Structure 1
Amino acid sequence: FVIHDDLDLELGTYKIQFGIGPKVHNGLLSIYESLGTDRFWHVRVGIDGRGGSRNISGSDYVLGKFSPKQKKIILEINNKIIADLKKLI
């Protein structure tokens, strides 16, 4: 399993999928190149908390810091993700 942030998903959501990841993600591109494949489980954790506002570019947003409220949302979904992963193992 590779767990990664995904700007295509709203903050507080996630998807567990095989062989499907975001279109552009530098960290994943490195993994694809190293493994020679994209055929592995992706845990896509939504981080888009811009609320429809696109005043901040995706790259600036991804590299920025989460607010305390956003951190709380991410921490809350961690247990859900872990429970779902245990079902797959």
Structure 2
Amino acid sequence: KNIALKFKKREFNEMPDYLLVIFGIPAFLISSYWMFVITEVTPDFIRAVNKQAHIDILGISIAGILLVLAAEVWFFSSIAVRCHTILYERWFK
């Protein structure tokens, strides 16, 4: 029973500080990395698409990949912000 209680589904505000840090740091690093990639690639992609008269299947697939990466950035940054907010409330208020 004790082991099952340790691995039960918890909300973020029920987690101890060390778990919030364990979840928050990797989420921040992942979202930061992919945001950097998206901000570097997207302007060149838009310029390349604007130079063509039409968008081909490669352009559509690259746009789809960029959208998936943007969703990943949103997901992991939401986790990082939630962990940060809870830790800020606990430690500094």
Fold similarity call, TM over 0.5: no
Bigger radius of gyration? 2
TM-score normalized by the length of structure 2: 0.32
| TM-score where L is the length of structure 1 | 0.33
Which has a greater percent of helix? 2
Higher relative contact order (CA 8 A, sep 6+): 2
